[in-house]
Amino acid sequence: SQKIEQNSEALNIQEGKTATLTCNYTNYSPAYLQWYRQDPGRGPVFLLLIRENEKEKRKERLKVTFDTTLKQSLFHITASQPADSATYLCALGDAGNMLTFGGGTRLMVKP
Amino acid sequence: GAVVSQHPSWVICKSGTSVKIECRSLDFQATTMFWYRQFPKQSLMLMATSNEGSKATYEQGVEKDKFLINHASLTLSTLTVTSAHPEDSSFYICSAARQGAWGNQPQHFGDGTRLSIL
């Protein structure tokens, strides 16, 4: 069965450092992968989308890589700030707009 | 932007009550809307896909008679939890995809509805 794994343990880093979150998947061939941010009691907010034929995508302080051979995506936040503290979800998508979400990783950026 | 409004944001009601949750796309037309359920510290679990003008497609294990979905227009989908019981207590979130978009598109999420059944 399809499985998407994100580190369930919280990631604690110091302000100004680069946060790196991992998303691994098995038994899946996604057409694309998305990353979302979710704050407590709120709905997810879309951050980045990367397609299966793309290796890397950037947006401001965010960078996503996608390795379909390793079946892994890495999500980087450079120059992290306390305001970046949230849960980050990766989601794999098929051609029909259907998304399957990972369990999310909570990021805590300490001042 | 792409704004999705979900209402109400929280509901507390007695067991046996039916509860309706609305999901509206405010500044775009959504051919497809999705309904998710999320338990504390867990991922979003897709319940059903709602297509405008047609019956919803439910995921395995989701009772369609329990969770009634109506997608009457390109900007509104509703989820009705019928005869709700304490085990139905959860965080329900809707999302919408733009009309005409097919594949490789982000979903735009509402802020969820916290449902508590006493």
How far apart, in whole angstroms, are the C-alpha atoms of residue A25 and residue A4? 4
Residue in B6, B32, B93 closest to A97 by CB:
B32
**What average pLDDT does the structure give for chain A?**
93
Pair of tokens at residue B68: 């009634």
Cβ–Cβ of A98/B46 closer than 8 Å?
yes
- Cβ–Cβ contact B21 with A under 8 A: no
**What is the CB-side half-sphere exposure of residue B41 using CA atoms within 13 A?**
5
* Chain A: residue whose CA lies nearest to B94: A43
Residues in A touching B106 (Cβ below 8 Å): 34, 46, 49
Pair of tokens at residue B67: 């969770």
- The pLDDT value recorded for residue B103 is 58
Q: Evaluate whether B32 touches A84 at the Cβ level (below 8 Å).
A: no
- Cβ–Cβ contact B47 with A under 8 A: no
Is the predicted pLDDT of residue B16 greater than 60, yes or no?
yes
Mean pLDDT lowest for which of A42-46, A85-89, A91-95, B86-90?
A91-95
Is the predicted pLDDT of residue B35 greater than 60, yes or no?
yes
Cβ–Cβ of B104/A49 closer than 8 Å?
yes
Q: Evaluate whether B47 touches B36 at the Cβ level (below 8 Å).
A: yes
B42-80 pLDDT, tens digit per residue, is: 889 999 998 888 889 999 999 999 999 998 888 999 999
**What average pLDDT does the structure give for chain B?**
90
| First-to-last C-alpha distance (Å) of chain A | 41
